[in-house]
Amino acid sequence: MTWKLISATPSPYARKVRIALQEKGIPFELQTEVPWDSTTATPQYNPLEKLPVLILDDGTAIYESHFILEWLETKYPEPSILPKDVNGRLFAKQVEVVCDGMCDAMVIAFFENMREKDKQSEPWKARQMRKVEGGLRQLDTWVKQNTSSQFMIGDKLTLADLAAGSFLGWFSLRYADHKWPTQYPALKKYYDGLEELEYFQNTRPSPQSVTDKVV
């Protein structure tokens, strides 16, 4: 039996795991779902009802993308998706914190926009957008600090690139008219470089249609 990964077509969190599994040469079957619909199997495996969920041969479920990646790195350390040095490893995890935090803010804003207009909180949406603007500025700063390669840290693909590339890919899909590509040309060049890589090409996000009422 092969491992299964419960995923969703737009999911930036799941994309990190899909790329890491391929980088590590671990075969898996993609189980694409809409976690917002009552038909999803996600709650059977994750009490938090969120995907991605990695399901092992014996039915064990590993969930929360950052934990799935930590689990993979611990159990299958080579090839590693983390820098060798301690500070580089911690920095890669900090980049993931910022990118996952921007994804979280965008998910909150996305569903706030699904409420009836008079029930939407503009200050709450503005607060979420501020987090993304701050995160984009930070990513651009970090990208410009590394002149040794196309990657965020050192000269090889790491967790930082999985997190940043997955966020930027999803953000470009959901907020196509945002000006970040012209506002941050170095970040755009970095992103375009990641999108050329095989495992980014075969995990490109696409929209999903949610049938159930969520909010």
Ligand X SMILES: N[C@@H](CCC(=O)N[C@@H](CS(=O)(=O)O)C(=O)NCC(=O)O)C(=O)O
What is the binding site for ligand X (CB under 6 A)?
A: 8, 10-11, 13-14, 35, 49-52, 64-66, 100, 107
Residue number, 35 or 135, with CB nearest to ligand X = 35
Beta bridge partners of residue 3, listed in sequence order:
28
Report the residue number, 62 or 184, with the smaller CB distance to ligand X: 62
Contacts of 130 (CB under 8 A, 6+ apart): none
Q: Would you say 68 or 136 has its CB closer to ligand X?
A: 68
DSSP string, 127-172: HHHHHHHHHHHHHHHHHHH--SSSSSSTTS--HHHHHHHHHHHHHH
CB of 118 to ligand X, least distance (A): 24
Query: Minimum CB separation from ligand X for residue 55, in Å?
Result: 14
Provide the minimum distance between the beta carbon of 31 and ligand X in the complex, in angstroms, as a whole number.
Answer: 13
Alpha helix positions (H), 6-149: 12-23, 42-45, 65-75, 86-112, 122-145
Shortest distance in whole angstroms from residue 149 CB to ligand X: 26
